[in-house]
Chain A
Amino acid sequence: MQSILYQIPCQADHYNELLDANGLPHPHWQALIELLANEQPAQMRHRVESIQRQVRDNGVTYNVYADTNGLQRPWDLDALPFILPHEEWQHIAAAVAQRATLLNQLLVDIYGQQTTLREGLLPSVLIHGHAGFLRPCHGVQHEDNIALHLYAVDLARAPNGQWWVVSDRTQAPTGAGYALENRTIISSAFPDLFRDLNIQRLSSFFTSMRDSLSHWGRACAQKQSFAHAEIKPLSDGEQPLIVILTPGPYNETYHEQSYLAGYLGFPLVQGSDLTVRNGIVWLKTISGLKAVHVILRRLDDDFCDPLELNADSLLGVAGLAQVTRQGHVVVANALGSNILQSGALLGFLPKLCERFLGEELKMPSVATWWCGEPQALETVIANLENLVIKPAFPQIQQHPIFGEDLNQSERDDLVRKLRANPQHYIAQEQVKISQAPAWSAHHKPNLNSLAIGLRVYACATPNGYAIMPGGLARIASGKDERVITMQRGGTSKDTWITSPDAAYHSSLLRRTTSSKDLVRGNTYLSSRMVENLFWFGRYTIRNTHTTRIIRTAIRFLMEFSSERRPIEWSTVHQLCQWYGLMPDAEEMAIEGNHFAELNDETIEHQLIQAVFSSKDNSLQSSIQQFFQLAFNIRERLSSDNWRIINQMSQRFNHGRHVPTLTETLEHLNETSASLVTLTGFTLDGMTRDQGWRFMSLGRRIERLQFLCVLLQNALTMPPESNLDWLLELTDSIVTYRARYSAQPEWLPVLDLLLMDEHNPNAMIFQLKGMVKYLTEVSTNYGGGGNEALFIERLESLKALDPDLSLYHGSTTLLIWLNDTYRKSVEISDQLSLRFFSYSGTQSGGAF
């Protein structure tokens, strides 16, 4: 054990989280250090690999650009947990709860009585000079006087072992979901240790949060029904509708938002999914408008309402501020809570704490001076080299400036800036923060010591604030260890709090599959979600077909030299062109190539391009579309499901290497296998609710269209063509061979592909499914399914006489296929119009 400790680089002027003054580990670290010292080095290597794999496979990302080649950055997670003993944690938790209580009261006061201003406890510039003071939100009545429902605070430990507050997060605190994911991954990397140390579980915190929001949602529902006789009060057992409002998939923490939505069982909605009518916020669902009771928002304050707040916002809900003033929706946190995120407030908190709570502030803030006070300004200027200068208000654009970094002329510039607008700046003491053990996989020694900050979470409950027993620890892995942020390349750590006694073990992710959640999911299906599910269904099938077509073409290319290539090839080529996978004569001409001289080399190049290029119709871009859709419905996909999708799209990152034809074929095989697995999941693993029905409709429509195109092309190829490829493309070759041991012939092939009710790839199978699902849609939503269109198609297909119609070049059949294709386009448009772009104008009948 000594040997590994001996290697750790330590800085004497920082508090050491691991070692005491004698160089021995604190008791709460001993078990972990012994484990590391006694096991084979390979074991830690396996852990690190497994952690990285889980982060990648679960698609845990930060700074997401939902684009497989974009800036999607995997979440950086250190292998070692950050451990704190229970006794110490009690103090931290009490201090955080006190601070949350204080900040909540301050927030309620600023947007209410303004005692703080009237008594001169705060200079008015800190409120009126703060761009985040939203006057339209003044006078809102909060349920139980709670405006700060979720609170996070960044802590750091000073050299003397004392914890300090560095900053408060009060608007829409991020990271609680990441903390939960970190826990799932790290606890499984050290299962025995986790159990032996009896680490406190995180799930109870999220349960408190859900129950509390639910409690206030219920109170809000009651107010709604008092105000509108048409709105029925919630019945026993009926849950209030709580939604998570997201800025959308391009937000840097969208991954976390969808993860939390899935975990808590709240629909994840965007501003356009909500609408304000008659003083109520409604969720647009395919079954009409549903009254929303609580909005857990991840959208910044001023973006929440383009009508009264930032008019440029495209992400908000017009009229939301007004509904909050009427008390008909709970917004968590209350609009305008950004005002507390000002470092200028820190220095005033001790006094405010005594005034509001009648007690001393339990945890100090890092020494902070607001330069707006003349004395403070002089102190700051005199001690600049030990201070960090930061903006006092969010509207001031300025990175932190470290006094010690400045040369004389830079220093003079800064002093001039401070004197010109002193109220715009705060100065914070530059703290030497504590160092905790971290694991570096690539450098020796592996056990390292890095500066650490801890973000702790609190949620309001009707009985005071509950604290998450753990948190998001972050270490400075970048060059500048003075700055710890995930935005600038930090690494996160799971935080373990030991238990005083044998805490009961509640499973982490149990709630995701409780029956209550499924029921809720059914009821509140947003129009946007349904639209995404529909297209998710279509793209699963579209990608399957694209993969198969290219694979077939490659086989023709590989198996036959150009002079021996069978006559069917030209039809396959034609299909590739129809689907935009290979350029047609016109496009070739534009690129300066002569179409007639299409040699094998060119074809090969074109086929590889069809898979990997980023052009519109390539498989790669189609898979990306699919990934995007999957991203939008993330909270409905199981983690296995998601992992397959994630892996599939990541395989397209082949770097600079240009794949060969053989590699391309292998790639197609893998993609095809992934798609088949996904289909298995959707058929086997997803709840048969309305959303699933729309997804299935998407699948059927796509397959039906493919059959129409494929057969129209096939029926007009040279009569002596071989039909094997047709059966392969429709995945029906195995069935055919089992039934007819002869060479494929037109009548049996067409019968199998059109009329055979037992073949899931047959036309009749698609039509029957569509009739079934469309009828269900009509029944559920009072029309809109237009199933008659396809009942007619089904009957006319059954009416075809095989002997008279099922032959090569059959005009009857060609006309029938053409009509069917047209009608499938029609139904797709009708569904979009009726269910996806729900503007609600047709139903004031929501009441």
Chain B
Amino acid sequence: MRYHVHHDTEYQYDSIVTLSQQMLYMTPRNSFAQYCEQHLLTIYPAPTERVQHIDYFKNYSEYIAVFTPHDLLKVTSSFTISLQRRPEHSELQQSLAWDEVAYRLANEHGMHLEAASYLYTSPKIICSQALAEYALPSFWPGRPLIESIFDLNQRIFQEFEFDPDATDVSTPLEQVLQGRRGVCQDFAHLMIGCLRSLGLAARYVSGYILTNPPEGEPRMIGADASHAWISVYSLKYGWIDFDPTNNCLVQNEHITVAWGRDFSDVSPMRGVVLGGGGQTLKVSVTVTPMPLVNTYTA
């Protein structure tokens, strides 16, 4: 599959900002599952400084500093990306028992280093007994890892309600678990918390998802949003992505931008401004399927 993504972020400030420093995580990373053909990041007002950086998790981040006084900051990220085929459910039948995976991750020092970052409590995901207990019905001893995760994924989808008003970025995981409602970010954090509390390695993936308009209606510009899901380390098959919000194994409608331990590692835009007072944020995302052959001419 091929997609074009257009992502606008607009901060409107109540009073003039004299200095703005931001970290952007908006450039999609490449992997076996995707290849980004071209990416354009435009910023208004034009930043005085732009520094690209590859972070600890090998994501692309970009530091910008705007010294021009402004009351509107607009960042537009647009890119074309082609997705490669990911393994399907039928191809993931031979996974190890989840408890064996957990044991080996904990005890085989010096191995599995790529999983090590994603095993423990992180700023937004505090591992707990409560999370482990919620997960356990899906994880009986000896049950194959992938099968257990399918089960947990489905339970979260069924037992939690999607409700954009129930939480915000600062809502703690405990509250999500108790209230049983939230958005994609909460469900991803919850599922990661469950897996880590059992000793498994799971990471947070930030990106976009294709939403299909109702039959017969045109695709609405800006109707989509940023999305988040999880990736679990399976030992046998490497990292496998699951989307608890949509109860699915990630296939060819998810576009990855970055991954980390949780949202705080890869939030699309975080920063510090001097002045500004209150602020209003507007975000719009449009994901458009593209023909497989590039029809642009140079």
Find residues 322-361 in chain A having any chain B CB closer than 8 Å to their own CB: 322, 325
Say yes or no: is B236 at the interface (Cβ < 8 Å to chain A).
Answer: no
- Between A and B, 14 residue pairs with Cβ closer than 8 Å are A117-B109, A117-B116, A120-B110, A135-B117, A139-B56, A276-B21, A277-B49, A277-B65, A277-B67, A279-B49, A307-B271, A308-B23, A325-B53, A844-B48
The answer, among A122, A123, A307, A395, for a CB contact under 8 Å with B270, is: A307
- Where chain B touches its partner, the secondary structure class is mixed
Establish whether residues A306 and B116, one from each chain, have CB atoms under 8 Å apart when the complex forms: no
**Distance in angstroms between the alpha carbons of A395 and B119 in the assembled complex:** 16
The answer, among A119, A127, A278, A319, for a CB contact under 8 Å with B110, is: A119
**Distance in angstroms between the alpha carbons of A123 and B113 in the assembled complex:** 10
Say yes or no: is A234 at the interface (Cβ < 8 Å to chain B).
Answer: no
Establish whether residues B109 and A322, one from each chain, have CB atoms under 8 Å apart when the complex forms: no
Say yes or no: is B18 at the interface (Cβ < 8 Å to chain A).
Answer: yes
A302 CB to closest chain B CB (Å) equals 10
User: What residue of chain A has the Cβ atom nearest to residue B116's Cβ?
Assistant: A124
Q: Mark A673-714, 1 if CB is under 8 A from B, else 0.
A: 000000000000000000000000000000000000000000
Establish whether residues A839 and B272, one from each chain, have CB atoms under 8 Å apart when the complex forms: no
**Distance in angstroms between the alpha carbons of A690 and B65 in the assembled complex:** 32
Say yes or no: is A656 at the interface (Cβ < 8 Å to chain B).
Answer: no
B105 CB to closest chain A CB (Å) equals 9
B211 CB to closest chain A CB (Å) equals 30
Establish whether residues B19 and A839, one from each chain, have CB atoms under 8 Å apart when the complex forms: yes
Q: Contacts of B49 on A, CB cut-off 8 Å?
A: 277-279
Q: Mark B2-31, 1 if CB is under 8 A from A, else 0.
A: 000000000000000011011100000000
Tell me the A residues contacting B by CB distance below 8 Å.
Answer: 114, 117-125, 127-129, 131, 135-136, 138-139, 275-279, 306-308, 311, 318-319, 322, 325, 395, 420, 839, 841, 844
Q: Contacts of A119 on B, CB cut-off 8 Å?
A: 110
**Distance in angstroms between the alpha carbons of A319 and B23 in the assembled complex:** 9
Establish whether residues A839 and B110, one from each chain, have CB atoms under 8 Å apart when the complex forms: no
Say yes or no: is B57 at the interface (Cβ < 8 Å to chain A).
Answer: yes
B178 CB to closest chain A CB (Å) equals 20
**Distance in angstroms between the alpha carbons of A308 and B25 in the assembled complex:** 12
The answer, among A322, A395, A841, for a CB contact under 8 Å with B63, is: A322
Q: Contacts of B109 on A, CB cut-off 8 Å?
A: 117, 120, 122-124
Q: Contacts of B110 on A, CB cut-off 8 Å?
A: 117-121
User: What residue of chain A has the Cβ atom nearest to residue B109's Cβ?
Assistant: A120
Say yes or no: is B129 at the interface (Cβ < 8 Å to chain A).
Answer: yes
A135-B63 in contact given A277-B49, A307-B271, A308-B23 (Cβ < 8 Å): no
Say yes or no: is B121 at the interface (Cβ < 8 Å to chain A).
Answer: yes
Find residues 111-139 in chain B having any chain A CB closer than 8 Å to their own CB: 111, 113, 116-117, 119-121, 123, 129
Establish whether residues A841 and B271, one from each chain, have CB atoms under 8 Å apart when the complex forms: no
Q: Contacts of B22 on A, CB cut-off 8 Å?
A: 307
- Kindly state the interface size class of chain B when it binds its partner: 20 to 34
**Distance in angstroms between the alpha carbons of A395 and B111 in the assembled complex:** 26
Establish whether residues A125 and B53, one from each chain, have CB atoms under 8 Å apart when the complex forms: no
A231 CB to closest chain B CB (Å) equals 15
Q: Contacts of A306 on B, CB cut-off 8 Å?
A: 272
Q: Contacts of B272 on A, CB cut-off 8 Å?
A: 306-307, 318
Q: Contacts of B120 on A, CB cut-off 8 Å?
A: 125, 128-129
Q: A135-B55, A135-B57, A307-B270 are in contact. List 7 more A-B contacts (CB 8 A).
A: A122-B109, A124-B113, A128-B116, A128-B119, A277-B65, A322-B53, A841-B19
Q: Contacts of A124 on B, CB cut-off 8 Å?
A: 109, 113, 116, 119
A136-B19 in contact given A124-B113, A307-B272, A844-B67 (Cβ < 8 Å): no
Say yes or no: is B281 at the interface (Cβ < 8 Å to chain A).
Answer: no
Say yes or no: is B274 at the interface (Cβ < 8 Å to chain A).
Answer: yes
User: What residue of chain B has the Cβ atom nearest to residue A396's Cβ?
Assistant: B121
User: What residue of chain A has the Cβ atom nearest to residue B110's Cβ?
Assistant: A120
The answer, among A118, A121, A139, A395, for a CB contact under 8 Å with B121, is: A395
Q: Contacts of B23 on A, CB cut-off 8 Å?
A: 307-308
Establish whether residues A841 and B69, one from each chain, have CB atoms under 8 Å apart when the complex forms: yes
**Distance in angstroms between the alpha carbons of A357 and B92 in the assembled complex:** 47
**Distance in angstroms between the alpha carbons of A136 and B56 in the assembled complex:** 7
Q: Contacts of B19 on A, CB cut-off 8 Å?
A: 275, 839, 841
User: What residue of chain A has the Cβ atom nearest to residue B69's Cβ?
Assistant: A841
**Distance in angstroms between the alpha carbons of A395 and B270 in the assembled complex:** 24
**Distance in angstroms between the alpha carbons of A420 and B127 in the assembled complex:** 12
Q: Contacts of A276 on B, CB cut-off 8 Å?
A: 21, 65
**Distance in angstroms between the alpha carbons of A279 and B270 in the assembled complex:** 18
B23 CB to closest chain A CB (Å) equals 6
Q: Contacts of B274 on A, CB cut-off 8 Å?
A: 839
A841-B67 in contact given A128-B116, A307-B272 (Cβ < 8 Å): yes
A66 CB to closest chain B CB (Å) equals 26
**Distance in angstroms between the alpha carbons of A325 and B49 in the assembled complex:** 16
Q: Contacts of A114 on B, CB cut-off 8 Å?
A: 113
Say yes or no: is B293 at the interface (Cβ < 8 Å to chain A).
Answer: no
Say yes or no: is B51 at the interface (Cβ < 8 Å to chain A).
Answer: yes
